[in-house]
Amino acid sequence: MTELAAVKAALKSQAVETPSWAYGNSGTRFKVFAQQGVPRSPWEKLDDAAQVHAFTGVAPTVALHIPWDRVDDYAALARHAEDRGLRLGTINSNTFQDDAYRLGSVCHPDAAVRRKAVDHLLECVDIMDATGSRDLKLWFADGTNYPGQDDIRARQDRLAEALAEVYGRLGEEQRMLLEYKLFEPAFYTTDVPDWGTAYAHCLKLGPKAQVVVDTGHHAPGTNIEFIVATLLREGRLGGFDFNSRFYADDDLMVGAADPFQLFRILHEVVRGDGFGSGVAFMLDQCHNIEAKIPAIIRSVMNVQEATAKALLVDRAALADAQAAGDVLGANAVLMDAYNTDVRPLLREVREEMGLDPDPLAAYARSGWAEKIVAERVGGEQAGWGA
């Protein structure tokens, strides 16, 4: 295979998982601007996700969030997905929207609350069994607001105990992805604030426990690609929650705020043989003011563009320059790839996949946006304010 053919093959095989909650209404704590035509149920979220996959060709799975996507029959939901060329993807747990969790969930000082939280996580694994999902994504809002409020170390013990119980319930092919976040909603301590804490827990649990890097969950200036390189080197990068941040956990479209950072991250994925190795490429975004389906299509395209650039890095030339201590030469190799306009290449890739080379224009022409506005009245909120 020529090098270009290999790059094209990698781009065709890339899969970007879209989140069910990105299709629904969402907002800030100040205001949710409801949009017309948004899905009224998990079933309709899948209908919209099928449009994203139809026009991009690389978004075959959809992440669910429980209870936002609770249904009576998950096997039927999986069939609904299959009928539309999709599969159900990661199951995201939610232990942050119940009054019981004011002081935390799996780290709560009261064993009864911890039990309730763990039972929810176990229920999520039951759902994975029904949907055929591989990954359980765990993000905990647990933490404290004031020094002295609770015992930092005891909370880690409670966390470890809860994770071990859920880990023991996983099937052979199932994985647990532990997501960290610097702060919010807790402001003083967070129980899983960084990759190191997540990694330490995963290491104790076993190989089915992996770390998730949500690109919006770091302090400003954090070198995320270093974290990615390290986790890949340790065999513990489970996947990404992609989005953009300018300030905190902004959940804006991936590649919008800092496409160069996204390229640097994906360069480390390529370097660390992370493609095809089980690393999940997921979006975790909310589209508060922009049209949702086009925003998700744009996000998938942004991931593709950064991936294409990362695949175009001349790794032999880079290795030579690095070995020779050629600082400027090595930097130039990387920048050459980043500065390549990969849009013509991606248009070609899409045509070879039998797709329209311009997914956004094709979606706009399809009439889907008008159809859902006409047919759907009273769309639901994604979950954050629900």
Residue 240 touches which of ligand LRH, Mn ion, none (Cβ within 5-8 Å per kind): none
Minimum distance from residue 83 beta carbon to ligand LRH (Å): 26
Of residues 290, 360, 261, the one with CA closest to residue 22: 290
How many residues bind ligand LRH (CB under 6 A)? The answer is 9
What gap in Å lies between CA 149 and CA 143, rounded to an integer?
Answer: 10
Interface with ligand LRH in residues 304-363 (CB under 6 A): none
Beta strands in 216-355 (DSSP E): 237-242, 280-283
* 181 near ligand LRH, judged by CB under 6 A: yes
What gap in Å lies between CA 132 and CA 353, rounded to an integer?
Answer: 26
* 142 near ligand LRH, judged by CB under 6 A: no
Nearer to ligand LRH, 258 or 320 (CB): 258
Using CB under 6 A, pick the residue from 23, 55, 139, 263 that binds ligand LRH: 139
Residues 188, 144 contacting (CB under 8 angstroms): yes
Interface with ligand LRH in residues 83-102 (CB under 6 A): 92
Nearer to Mn ion, 150 or 241 (CB): 241
* 241 near ligand LRH, judged by CB under 6 A: yes
The torsion of the CA quartet 264, 269, 86, 257, rounded to 10 degrees, works out to -10
Using CB under 5 A, pick the residue from 214, 268, 305, 380 that binds Mn ion: 214
* 241 near Mn ion, judged by CB under 5 A: yes
Residue 92 touches which of Mn ion, ligand LRH, none (Cβ within 5-8 Å per kind): ligand LRH
| Angle (CA) 41 44 49, round 5° | 130
* 249 near Mn ion, judged by CB under 5 A: yes
Residue 56 touches which of Mn ion, ligand LRH, none (Cβ within 5-8 Å per kind): none
What contacts 24+ positions apart, CB below 8 Å, involve 72-80? Answer: 74/127, 74/130, 74/131, 75/130, 75/131, 77/42, 77/43, 77/46, 77/131, 78/130, 78/131, 78/132, 80/43, 80/46
Minimum distance from residue 383 beta carbon to ligand LRH (Å): 7
| Angle (CA) 217 199 136, round 5° | 75
Residue ranges in contact with ligand LRH by CB under 6 A: 21, 92, 139, 179, 181, 214, 241, 249, 284
Residue ranges in contact with Mn ion by CB under 5 A: 214, 241, 249, 284
